[in-house]
Amino acid sequence: MKFKKSLILTTVAVSSALFLTACNDKQSKPQAPAAQQQQQNAPTDKAQQESLNRFNSAVRIVPTERNIGKDKDGKDVVSFTYRVENLGDKPIKEIQWFSLAGVDMAIIDISNIPVIFEKPLEPKKTENVFLTKNIDMVSETSRPIFLDPKSNIEMKTLAGKLVFADGSEILVTSQEDLVEYLKKIAK
């Protein structure tokens, strides 16, 4: 890998009672054809919808794999692999998205995933991004689900932000936007 994976994990505390209707990508199995993979959001206005459309035209993020293992201290970890494909015509310097894990339409974990590429991701190129998360960062009730290789965890990516090598950017959803949205649907 010739890029620096700057993965800063921010787990948003969300009850597993929250429901997300768009959570339907199978995590432990191969994903749907790439043409069908698009980042989802709940746009609140026309400008946000336009930003989401531009984001989806520029990049595709596909969760492809979940692995269970141990870190150097023997603690349980769960690792995820995401395929990031630059669909646009400008190199991507940074990307940020939210990864939602769910079971039976209930959200069990959310991760904020920012990535800064050491060398910009060139147009029409693909890179794998790896996220390893200590199981202690997952709620106690969700840990057995993550540690069971047979569990059917559904993964969904939500568009966040793209920064291109020329300095231009597309902002769809901030962490604050996501928290506010989850509060609304929890009511």
Nearest residue to 82 (alpha-carbon basis) of 66, 110, 63: 63
Residue 13 has pLDDT above 70, yes or no: no
Structure tokens at 63: 């969760």
Domain range spanning residue 55?
10-32+46-180
CA distance 34 to 166: 27
Please state, in angstroms and as integers, the Cα–Cα distance from residue 113 to each residue in 34, 104, 162, following that order: 20, 23, 12
Cα-based angle 10, 15, 17 (whole degrees, multiple of 5):
140
Q: How many domains does the structure of the chain reveal?
A: 1
pLDDT digits (tens, 9 = 90+) for 54-90: 999 999 999 999 999 999 999 999 999 999 999 999 9
Between these two residues, 171 and 43, which has the higher pLDDT value? 171
Its pTM stands at 0.74
Residue 38 lies in a domain: no
Residue 37 lies in a domain: no
pLDDT digits (tens, 9 = 90+) for 98-137: 999 999 888 999 999 999 999 999 999 999 999 999 999 9
CA distance 91 to 124: 9
Q: Which residue has the tokens 């939602």?
A: 100
Residue 127 lies in a domain: yes
Residue 174 lies in a domain: yes
Q: How confident is the model at residue 39 (pLDDT cuts 50, 70, 90)?
A: low
pLDDT for residue 17: 25
pLDDT digits (tens, 9 = 90+) for 140-186: 999 999 999 999 999 999 999 999 999 999 999 998 988 888 888 77
Residue 88 lies in a domain: yes
CATH number at residue 173: 2.70.50
Residue 5 lies in a domain: no
DSSP H helix total and E strand total for the chain: 3, 9
Residue 35 has pLDDT above 90, yes or no: no
Residue 1 has pLDDT above 70, yes or no: no
